[in-house]
Amino acid sequence: MKAAAMNAPETLIDTTLTLNGEAITRRIPVRQNLVDFLREEMGLTGTHIGCEHGVCGACTVRVDGNIVRGCLMLAVQAEGRTVETIEGLSDSGEIADLQDAFHKRNALQCGFCTPGMLLTVQDLAQKNPRATREQIREHISGNYCRCTGYQAIVDAVETVLAARQIKV
């Protein structure tokens, strides 16, 4: 009885999570991080993977409403959690205005950083809808963009924040 109840380490764990609104269960190798799971097991390749040690922000996803680094979380740690990716935010239309503004302002070139950047700026828009340019820069400080020089990204975010203010 006691031995049966003992909590033992495993290398494969059945994990149930809500992914972009849909409940899924998969048997996941414990060492697989959340981004690799999303890309390789679920075919959701919008979340990118760059540095794999928390520095670049390309892997940003939303877990239980908060943005996190997908490369620093094990997929099995998503048990019982709600995970949202760029695909989910795109399909729901939640960030359509941001995507449009990024396009119009040339806030992306190669697009590698863009999914993580969009999740991060949407997080800012929710938490601080009146953010200044300085605060926008601070919020995206953990998301590297090697192409745009950031100026166009800050412009796009500023435009959307202002437009959303008028709407509400």
Partner 1 sequence: MKAPPFAYVRARSLADALDLLERHNHDGEGAKILAGGQSLMPALNMRLSSPAVLIDISRLQEQAGICVKDGHVHIGALTTHAAIGNSAAIRQHLPLLADAVEHIAHPAIRNAGTFGGSLATADPAAEWPACCVALDAQIVLAGKAGTRTVAARDFFQGLYATAMQPNEIITEVVIPIPAAGTRHAFLELARRRGDYAMVGVAALATFSGGAPRDVRLTFLGAGDKPLSATKTAQVFVNKGISESSLKEAQDTLATELDPAADLYSTAATKLHLARVLTARIMKQLVA
Ligand X SMILES: Cc1cc2nc3c(=O)[nH]c(=O)nc-3n(C[C@H](O)[C@H](O)[C@H](O)COP(=O)(O)OP(=O)(O)OC[C@H]3O[C@@H](n4cnc5c(N)ncnc54)[C@H](O)[C@@H]3O)c2cc1C
Where on the chain is the footprint of ligand FES (CB under 6 A)?
A: 49-52, 54-59, 69, 71, 108-113, 145-148
Residues near partner 1, by CB under 8 A: 7-11, 13, 30-31, 33, 36, 52-54, 57, 60, 66-69, 71-74, 76-77, 79, 120, 123-124, 137-139, 141-143
Neighbours of 79 (CB within 10 A): 14
Nearer to ligand FES, 12 or 110 (CB): 110
Q: Are strands 66-69 and 82-84 parallel, antiparallel or unpaired?
A: unpaired
Are the CB atoms for 136 and 152 separated by under 8 Å? no
Shortest gap between Cβ of 97 and ligand X (angstroms)? Answer: 29
Shortest gap between Cβ of 54 and ligand X (angstroms)? Answer: 3
Q: What is the CA radius of gyration of the chain?
A: 18
Shortest gap between Cβ of 139 and partner 1 (angstroms)? Answer: 6
Q: Choose from ligand X, partner 1, ligand FES, none: what does 11 bind? Cβ within 5-8 Å by kind.
A: partner 1
Shortest gap between Cβ of 133 and ligand FES (angstroms)? Answer: 18
Nearer to partner 1, 103 or 138 (CB): 138
Q: Where are the beta strands (DSSP E) in 11-80?
A: 12-19, 22-29, 60-63, 66-69
Token look-up 């995507």 returns 99
Burial annotation 86-97 (CB, 10 A radius, 16+ → b, else e): bbbbbeeebbeb
